[in-house]
Amino acid sequence: MNISDSNGHFPILVAEDDPVARKILEKTLIKEGHEVVSVENGRKAFDLFKQRFFPIILTDWMMPEMDGIELCRAVRNHQASGYVFIIILTSKDSKDDIVTGLNSGADDYVNKPFNPPELKARIKTCMRILELERSLKEANENIRILSITDPLTKSYNRGYITECLPKEINRAIRYERALSLMLCDIDHFKKVNDTYGHQAGDQVLIEVVHSIKDSIRQDLDWTARYGGEEFLIVLPETGPQGACILAERLRNSISKYKFIFQEKAIHITCSFGISGFDSVTSDENISSESLINTADKYLYQCKLEGRNRVKAGYMDKAQSLKFKDKLLISNDQ
């Protein structure tokens, strides 16, 4: 999220009941290139803040309805999308209260009537801090992405499965929605490595992930590397029947695909084990483990029956919540 404009200015919310002071604040800040929204008391400022995030708040102390101190506390207690830098304006005669202001959550204070160069300098300090916060957030986000990404294929990794699959399952159960899991394993992958080398194997893995990503819904479905040449595909809002159709399509296209490595064509096939449900009302027997184990069981069946095929199990709420075989297309080439 980038909250500043292209020149690094941040929108500022001003709360000041004195119309003369408000006008001077507005104009001084606008001249500096900031977007300024000003209101005449803390209550209005907080109402506005709840609708729109402002990274900088400049507030007077004494105001009707809600004063600056109450505004500071309200903003600090509110779940905001980023850090809010609060500057409180104090009269010289209330200097004793500066400690109260800072303790209530203000980051800085400016004496009234303020001196424009001083105010501008204070805003610059606050922009430096917000800029620092932004770059830390960005770095954090990059680290987070790295921690859930498989470095070779750029699909998610097992850590992501552990983090997100239980959430997908809970959501599906709570809203009685469909959910399917698919384990896709490359058949005889060791042969690819042995025949063409590990670089070729790596390229096959990368391209298989591309095929998977191309055939699932970008914003809803996701895929993660489950093991060496095994990928988990999670399909919310999709029952086992739909998952089978998707798997069959993928199986077919991968089996026809020519992976080119150093001008040599490599042919591979994949096997797909599926588990899932159309809707369940109880979470009995349903967990990441049970769904993955079931998919794995059907994947194993595919291997036994000659590979390059799709097999699925499903849960039916009318039944005793045990996985049943799904009679399904189990194609050979």
Partner 1 sequence: MNNLAEPIDMKEVMEILDGDKELLIECFDELLNSMPQTLAEIQSAIEQGNASSLDEAAHKLKGSLKYMAAGTAADVAYQLKTMGKEENLSLADNIFSTLCEECEKVQDFMERYKVGI
Using CB under 8 A, list all residues that contact partner 1: 17-21, 23-24, 27-28, 31, 62, 64, 91, 93, 112-117
Around Cβ 92, how many Cβ atoms within 10 Å? 8
Nearer to partner 1, 32 or 316 (CB): 32
Task: Tell the smallest beta-carbon distance from residue 116 to Mg ion (Å).
Answer: 19
**Which of Mg ion, partner 1, none does residue 113 bind to, with CB < 5 to 8 Å depending on kind?**
partner 1
Give CA torsion, residues 212, 215, 216, 222, to 10 deg: 10
163 is catalytic: no
Does residue 54 contact residue 105 with C-beta atoms inside 8 Å? no
| Closer by beta carbon to partner 1, 118 or else 283 | 118
Catalytic, out of 229, 248, 289, 305: 229
Cα–Cα nearest to 239, from 174, 315, 183, 163: 315
> What residue spans of the chain are helical by DSSP H?
19-31, 42-51, 68-77, 98-103, 116-147, 158-174, 189-196, 198-215, 240-256, 288-304
| Distance between first and last Cα of the chain | 48
Handedness of CA 237, 157, 160, 276 (dihedral sign): positive
Residue (19 or 197) nearer to Mg ion, CB: 19
Token pair belonging to 35: 């977007």
The one-character DSSP state at 97 is G
Query: Which residue, 24 or 148, has its beta carbon nearer to partner 1?
Result: 24
Classify residue 286 by its DSSP letter.
Answer: -
For partner 1, the closer CB: 27 or 124: 27
Report the nearest approach of Mg ion to the CB of residue 18 (Å). Answer: 5
Please say which residue, 24 or 329, places its beta carbon nearer to partner 1: 24
The site partner of 277 among Mg ion, partner 1, none (C-beta below 5 to 8 Å per kind) is none
115 binds, among partner 1, Mg ion, none (CB under 5 to 8 A by kind): partner 1
Query: To the nearest whole angstrom, how small is the minimum distance from the Cβ of residue 6 to partner 1?
Result: 25
In the bound complex, what is the minimum distance in angstroms from residue 61's beta carbon to partner 1? 10
Question: Dmax of the chain from CA atoms?
Answer: 88
Contact partner, 20, from partner 1, Mg ion, none, Cβ < 5-8 Å per class:
partner 1
Q: Which of 88, 89, 82 is nearest to 131 (CA)?
A: 82
CB of 25 to partner 1, least distance (A): 10
Q: What residue 295 binds from partner 1, Mg ion, none (CB within 5 to 8 A, per partner kind)?
A: none
Close Cβ partners of 163 (under 8 Å, ≥ 6 residues apart):
148
Smallest gap from residue 90 Cβ to Mg ion (A): 10
The amino acid sitting at 142 is N
Q: Choosing among partner 1, Mg ion, none, which partner's interface includes residue 142 (Cβ < 5 to 8 Å by kind)?
A: none
Task: Give one DSSP letter per residue of 6-29, joined into a string.
Answer: TTS---EEEE-S-HHHHHHHHHHH
User: Which residue ranges make up the site for Mg ion (CB under 5 A)?
Assistant: 17, 60, 62-63
- Give the active site residues: 229
